[in-house]
Chain A
């Protein structure tokens, strides 16, 4: 099934599995060759260049760069806030998915569209959007611009679709009879949710959480106008990399970038493991 997702992710339950298929023919082999050359030039070689450049200064150089007081602070802030946001998303994303699947009310379609807005909206616009409600001159009378709360809020905005869109299709495909079976065996609503529904959703939640975490860690655009990029306070890793680039210090930029890449890679591995576990469960 094609799930209704604008979010850049597929649910864990139907993440693509690409087992089997024909052996390559001459035409398809050539196609694969061309595709691989393109993919290498675009993605693999540039990412390798980041790793090689980071390694250029040796382990000591790398370590010195990432443990630099200001850099370490950005990494701590980025990872810490991303974790916190992911936790909020686990709860709110599951809740939103639940309401979208199980409830039916006027305006639900509009909520569906709102979920996808953070994905399609340019990140710089996302920052501006949040600034207009939570920045100076806020109609709510709050001003969180240039604080760590702004980092949290920006991450929360851009990662909104991930867990919702991974959990939603899995929840929609859950057999209502399974919950009825649990009820007739004496399980209360809460027990049924905790022991039957939640375990079925766990792989999808985990997949969405991983994507959401990765997205938050790498976020840049929405923070530019919102957080002020104050060193030691609201500066995140991406901003730190950018200022290294702008100061023509590509080696330190690469060193911090490698830390982010390692996180991305870990996320991909986690997703692959989840996908394999789901396939085993059938």
Chain B
């Protein structure tokens, strides 16, 4: 394991940012710390980088106890949401910064920087100032700057959060490909479940200062550990006391069957290639079902049609703890001593 986080706790005044968190982050993989804003994931990343010091617990990086090491000695690369560009230095000097600090020979710095600028496709911008770059270019520069020192681990804090949707998507694909080339242990923080599912090898779901689940994207999606993870990773609807995904539900016009529950269609909404069908069970429970356009046309249903709604076998479900509770209201945290 590349990064071991053992029983880490961190408070800011009365606010508990991390509550006894233990995580192992594997070497050479791309790991996402996923969770809602203010859930503690950025704090955890900053503790790994040494930008924040844990109140309790231990951090180990590649077998070295880093708990008390200052950021300068950790050899981590850190990429900030808002780039943290050195505005008075050219792109080249920005990327060279860490190497100059390490007093590497000039020739080596030059060739290493050229190599990195090529990697992030900024060769032709080497002599520009950061102010002359777009947001996406600045973030690629920041990434090259962090990679230049050959860090043990690369940490990215909401790296694409400040970019517009299209650039974000491009950079996301590009980060995945970059990681496949460089293979440095990478941890990135995101609140976007789609981003985590698409890019990461491994996802750590963090909420209210605690780890909710750790696993591969498939694990998380197919076997959510609890209601929070189920709700956070995608749309859910409730059938009986089970939380299920709307696209895992099937509708049938064969009312003689015994599978599923009897219901009546209350509303049909077309969203592009998807059809959202809202039904109400005979018990009065509202359920949302997502169908493809073809499935919908084959059923031939409309508002007020009687249907039976059932779950596709093998689909992930979780049991609802308290039926009316919204997902964000998890039990209150107990303060760590």
Contact = CB atoms under 8 A, between A and B. Distances in A.
Interface of A: 175, 177-178, 180-188, 191, 195-196, 199-200, 280-282
Contacts of B311: none
A180 to B, nearest CB: 5
B70 interface: yes
Contact of A177 (B80, B132, B146): B80
Contact of A180 (B51, B87, B89, B101): B51
Contacts of A200: 87-88
Looking at A182, A186, A200, A280, which has the most chain B CB atoms within 10 Å of its CB?
A: A186
Chain A at the B interface: mostly helix, strand, loop or mixed? helix
A178 B84 contact: yes
Given A184-B51, A185-B101, A185-B145, 12 more contacts: A177-B80, A178-B84, A180-B71, A180-B78, A180-B84, A181-B84, A182-B86, A184-B76, A186-B101, A195-B97, A282-B87, A282-B132
B83 to A, nearest CB: 8
B88 A175 contact: no
Contacts of A181: 78, 80, 84, 86, 142, 145
Given A199-B88, A281-B131, A184 B82 contact: no
Contacts of B329: none
A51 to B, nearest CB: 38
Contacts of A195: 97
The list of the 7 closest CB pairs from A to B, nearest first, reads A282-B131, A185-B98, A177-B84, A181-B84, A184-B78, A199-B88, A183-B71
Contacts of B77: 184-185
A187 B101 contact: yes
Contacts of B98: 185-186
B80 A186 contact: no
B71 A184 contact: yes
27 contacts: A177-B80, A177-B82, A178-B84, A178-B87, A180-B49, A180-B71, A180-B78, A180-B84, A181-B78, A183-B70, A184-B49, A184-B74, A184-B76, A185-B97, A185-B98, A185-B101, A185-B149, A186-B72, A186-B73, A186-B101, A187-B97, A188-B72, A199-B89, A200-B87, A280-B131, A281-B88, A282-B87
A183 B51 contact: yes
Interface of B: 49-51, 70-78, 80, 82, 84-89, 97-98, 101-102, 129-132, 142, 145-146, 149
A186 B82 contact: no
Contacts of A178: 84-87
Given A178-B85, A178-B86, A180-B84, A282 B129 contact: yes
Contacts of B87: 178, 200, 281-282
Contact of B129 (A177, A188, A191, A281): A281
B64 to A, nearest CB: 16
Contacts of B73: 186
Contacts of B75: 186
Nearest to B142: A181
A149 to B, nearest CB: 38
A191 B74 CA distance: 17
Contact of A187 (B72, B80, B82, B132): B72
A187 B78 CA distance: 13
A47 B31 CA distance: 69
Looking at A178, A180, A184, which has the most chain B CB atoms within 10 Å of its CB?
A: A184
B88 A183 contact: no
B153 to A, nearest CB: 11
A186 B97 CA distance: 9
Nearest to B149: A185
A52 to B, nearest CB: 44
A206 to B, nearest CB: 13
B84 A175 contact: yes
A82 B101 CA distance: 37
Nearest to B97: A185
